[in-house]
Amino acid sequence: MGWGRTVVGAQARGRWAIVLSVIVVLSAIPIALNLRPARAAEISPTVLKAKIAASRGQPFEGYAQSTGLLPLPSLPNLAEVSALVSTTTELRTWYAAKDSWRVDVIDGSSERDLYQTPTAQYIWDYGDNQLTRVAGDQPVRLPRAADLIPTTLVHSLLDLAAGEKTEPLAARRVAGVDAAGLRIVAGSADTTVDHIDIWADPVSGLPVQAEVTARGGQRPVFVTRFLELHLSTPGAAVLTPPAPRAAIGYSETEAPDILSAINRRRFGVLPTQLIGLPRRDAVDGVSAAGVFGTGLTQFVVISLPGRFGRQAYDQIATYGTVVTVPQGDAAVLGTGLPSVLVVRGQRTYLVAGLVQPAVLQRVAGDLSAVAS
């Protein structure tokens, strides 16, 4: 399949890594369905989940589209990331293996490419004629368009919602596939998610569409789906990034391990529990960040350094609601799905999750004592 070369861009900005990583665990709004009715074989949600889990190594190539209706404000320096959950994103994708894939973002006349090879990632900016080699792992990073393709997003959603109730859904025809469906039903009123609908090829288990509906909503606020899909192994040529040469710009950079950098500088550690929930580490060995809660009600907490903490508080206080706490300052921003909290004292803590703002207001009370 000879789709053109493209672009994926934007260097990670550390102070928003956790906030937007939680936000982009989701994606977009409904797209027109194929007219021909689906006739997928009946399959239980348990069996379909198992097939989806087993499909992580399935090669494919396709064209996907995601559209978001999340009312996330255009935060300073993060317009591109905010757009991932508030506009339509067009994606070409090729997948051969975990360490061999490519995702192109198509934006009008511009294209952006992200290549994963066995040795590194490469960012090819077609418009700027610039190739960047990114060395090292990226345990923490800002969301990117590649996270929105149905396969990646569905696996993230199933991991996040492990343990939640599932129900069967009627089959749906997606990108020529008579896809079987399942619904994940949120079990706690503390989460902003009402349900998540997923469709996958009943034979290979490859996810082809996902929709997320917020509590109280009548239609999905996020959907991602394939419009074209082929279960074939892409050729080596399409997975090989452009070679550095005199005619194009070339640079190398190391992927930032943001949480480890924060932990090494000892900006502060987290309590062992918040609002009665025990702490679980978000990244092994990083005491400055952690996860509390389980399933769709879990939330992430990170201790921020001085000026980043001040900027984060100012942004959330501007767009959200200031909360009264026993000590220091706190502000909460609710968007309908993810909620974000910043608590500021001698230390600053940022909290994000798919939980009700009222939950984070309770968290603010506990964190204010730790921050001061």
CATH of the domain at 302: 3.30.200
Together in a domain, 228 and 264: no
- Write down which residue in 208, 228, 254 finishes a domain: 254
Query: Does residue 211 belong to any structural domain of this protein?
Result: yes
Together in a domain, 184 and 277: no
Query: Does residue 5 belong to any structural domain of this protein?
Result: no
Together in a domain, 230 and 361: no
Dist CA 304 CA 341 (whole Å): 12
pLDDT, one tens digit for every residue, the chain (372 residues)? 333 333 333 333 433 444 444 444 433 233 333 434 556 667 999 999 999 999 999 999 999 999 887 766 655 545 566 667 677 889 999 999 999 999 999 887 678 899 999 999 999 998 888 999 988 766 556 678 899 999 999 999 999 898 899 999 999 999 999 999 999 999 999 999 999 999 999 999 999 999 999 999 889 988 999 999 999 999 999 999 998 888 889 998 876 555 556 656 556 678 889 999 998 765 555 667 788 998 999 998 888 877 778 888 888 899 899 999 999 999 999 888 889 899 999 889 989 889 999 999 999 999 999 888
Report long-range pairs for 239-244 (Cβ below 8 Å, ≥24 apart). 239/94, 239/96, 239/100, 239/101, 239/102, 239/115, 239/117, 240/115, 240/117, 241/113, 241/115, 241/117, 241/122, 241/124, 241/131, 242/5, 242/124, 242/131, 244/131
Query: Does residue 271 belong to any structural domain of this protein?
Result: yes
| Domain region containing 215 | 14-254
Query: Does residue 3 belong to any structural domain of this protein?
Result: no
Neighbours of 23 (CB within 10 A): 25
- Write down which residue in 254, 273, 299 finishes a domain: 254
Together in a domain, 214 and 328: no
Together in a domain, 160 and 296: no
Q: Which two tokens stand for residue 53?
A: 């889990």
Q: How many residues does the chain have?
A: 372
Together in a domain, 220 and 104: yes
Together in a domain, 131 and 241: yes
Neighbours of 248 (CB within 10 A): 15
Together in a domain, 149 and 227: yes
Number of structural domains (the chain) is: 2
Q: Which two tokens stand for residue 172?
A: 């749906």
Together in a domain, 250 and 270: no
Cross-strand partners of 83: none
Query: Does residue 329 belong to any structural domain of this protein?
Result: yes
- Write down which residue in 227, 254, 281 finishes a domain: 254
Together in a domain, 262 and 236: no
- Determine if the pTM surpasses 0.85: no
Dist CA 25 CA 154 (whole Å): 9
Query: Does residue 2 belong to any structural domain of this protein?
Result: no
Q: In the 3-class helix/strand/coil scheme, how is 324-336 assigned residue by residue?
A: CCCCCEEEEEECC
Task: Provide the pLDDT for residue 5.
Answer: 33
Together in a domain, 309 and 246: no
Query: Does residue 151 belong to any structural domain of this protein?
Result: yes
